[in-house]
Structure formats: structure tokens, C-alpha cells
Amino acid sequence: MTAGRGPVVVDTNVFGAELTRRGRPISNAYSRHLEGRPALISFVTEAELRYGARHAGWGEQRLSRLERRLAQARVIWPDRELLDVYVAFRHDCTASGHPLGQQHHAWPST
């Protein structure tokens, strides 16, 4: 691993991109940011990938690739500390006028 390059939080579309042909451009675009770094994914990302595979009717070979990919990541589960970080981050974004503070980035979006 490159010195000074620690873990990286990866969203569903980027983390799962290498699993499909359609996702290859995304995978290629982000590979330099992810290479050699441990991936942290939300439990929601794991659920979305498993649901997508089930909904698409993936066979054993593709499901095995998904399992290997998921085994490479650390899944982050919600706890009080994560909730506090989210609240502080969202507040700071809203207070500073950053686009991530806008309502359509929140759940539920109103």
C-alpha cells in the first residue's frame, strides 16, 4: 500500500462497478483512487449489491464473484458514533452552504 493512503469509503455504484460490464467505465475511472487501499462500505451498500444480484437472477459464478468482492471490504454498521459523525457532518455542510447540506441529499427527501 502507498504510504499515507489509508482506508476509503466507497459507495455502492463504485464498489460494485467491477462486477458488471456496464460498470467497467466507473471501475476504471475510480481505480487509481481505490488501488491498494482498504475499502469501507456501508451495510446499505452490501444490502443493495445483494438485492441487485438476487433481483437480476445472478448464477453461482457471478454470486461467487460478489462474495469475493464483499469479503475484500470492511462493512460499517450504524452505531452512536457514526450517527454523531453524520449529524455533525450534515450540520457543517448546511451551515457552510455546501451542496451536501441540501435536503435532497437527506433521507427521507422531502
Structural domains in the chain, CATH included, are 8-77 (3.40.50.1010)
With CA atoms as reference, report the closest residue to 17 among 52, 57, 54: 52
Residue 39, strand partner residues = 8, 73
- For 51-60, the pLDDT digits (tens) are 999 999 999 9
- For 64-99, the pLDDT digits (tens) are 999 999 999 999 999 999 999 989 998 999 999 988
The residues, any chain, with a CB within 8 Å of residue 101's CB and separated by 6 or more, are: 90, 92, 93, 94, 95
With CA atoms as reference, report the closest residue to 17 among 65, 55, 82, 58: 65
Cβ-based neighbour number of residue 62 at 10 Å:
14
- For 18-67, the pLDDT digits (tens) are 999 999 999 999 999 999 999 999 999 999 999 999 999 999 999 999 99
Examine residue 108 and say whether the peptide bond preceding it is cis (omega within 30 degrees of 0).
yes
> What global pTM score does this model have?
0.76
